[in-house]
Homo-oligomer: A and B are copies of this chain.
């Protein structure tokens, strides 16, 4: 057992969180996280209909009796999304924890709080974290420059952003972006965070429901194998460097990029072909710089045991031995 403000709040054993992973964070991963003592947030919008989310929640309940959550990301989508029914599903199905991301969750706060949801907002800057606290969020998960997916436009790294956010807020802070092992967990806790969030690391686990080629590609990648796409549109996304990513970078290098020029390359259906069929050059895959430190594809339980064992050794062994 590790005891921090977020293990208490979530009712979990270890301060290790799996935040939203579109298409990937489903029942298998959420249940594996729960059973290993952490917490996983399944992505609501992986399901085109709210009923799909309801079914996924029920499926997870059959696999674990421990806590898990739902991620709801407010990002521009190809088709307009009605978020309310997804929140209703969470409340009706008795989910207690919701992770919001992307745009400001304020329009939905009243509904979420009235439904008894504990709201963790994921964001990429101190000013957005302050805003989240102000509108009543219970936890902030702060994402540094090294993170997969959308690290924002400020390019401030976790080493700076985590302590800054901790200093600025009263509510608990989860460190996210660049974390993948027990060393990272202790670093996060030393910087003042109450836990660490991992995304890319959980994609390369046995339980992640996707083609083995994708996991192998993450293990093979070095720390220099990610690219920042859509910077020119101020909607930056950190992805694994591959043929499609390089095509997008070439389009952006020409200048005066329009979203329509890039949209075909970012399309979710191409991503599903990658995830399901293992075609690594056909689509974009979000991946953080932590890929450089991934060397295997463990089960979630093995990964958690390793992280906690390593963190415990650092906290009770390495560090006290340094201080005489």
Contacts and interface: CB of A to CB of B under 8 A. Distances in A.
Contact of A315 (B15, B146, B163, B323): B323
A312 B322 CA distance: 10
Interface in A298-324: 311-312, 314-316, 318-324
A159 B187 CA distance: 9
A179 B311 CA distance: 21
Contacts of A323: 2, 311-312, 315-316
Interface stretch (A36-44, A58-66, A129-137, A189-197): A189-197
Interface stretch (A45-53, A90-98, A285-293): A285-293
B3 A289 contact: no
Contacts of A183: 163, 190-192
A223 interface: yes
A56 interface: no
Interface in A1-46: 1-4, 15
Determine how many copies of this chain the complex contains: 2
Given A2-B323, A181-B163, A312-B323, A158 B156 contact: no
B126 A164 contact: no
Interface in A189-218: 189-192
Contacts of A178: 157, 159-160
A146 B160 contact: yes
A67 interface: no
A191 to B, nearest CB: 5
A159 B186 contact: no
Contacts of A184: 159, 163, 191
B187 A292 contact: no
Q: Give the interface size bracket for A toward B.
A: 35 or more
Nearest to A1: B324
A190 B293 CA distance: 15
A283 interface: no
B290 A160 contact: yes
Nearest to A158: B159
A156 B292 contact: yes
A102 to B, nearest CB: 20
A122 to B, nearest CB: 18
A176 to B, nearest CB: 11
A234 to B, nearest CB: 14
5 contacts: A3-B324, A160-B290, A160-B292, A186-B186, A190-B314
Interface of A: 1-4, 15, 126, 144-146, 154, 156-161, 163-164, 167, 177-179, 181, 183-184, 186-187, 189-192, 223-224, 289-290, 292-293, 311-312, 314-316, 318-324
Closest 7 CB pairs of A and B: A186-B190, A159-B178, A187-B187, A157-B157, A146-B157, A315-B319, A160-B289
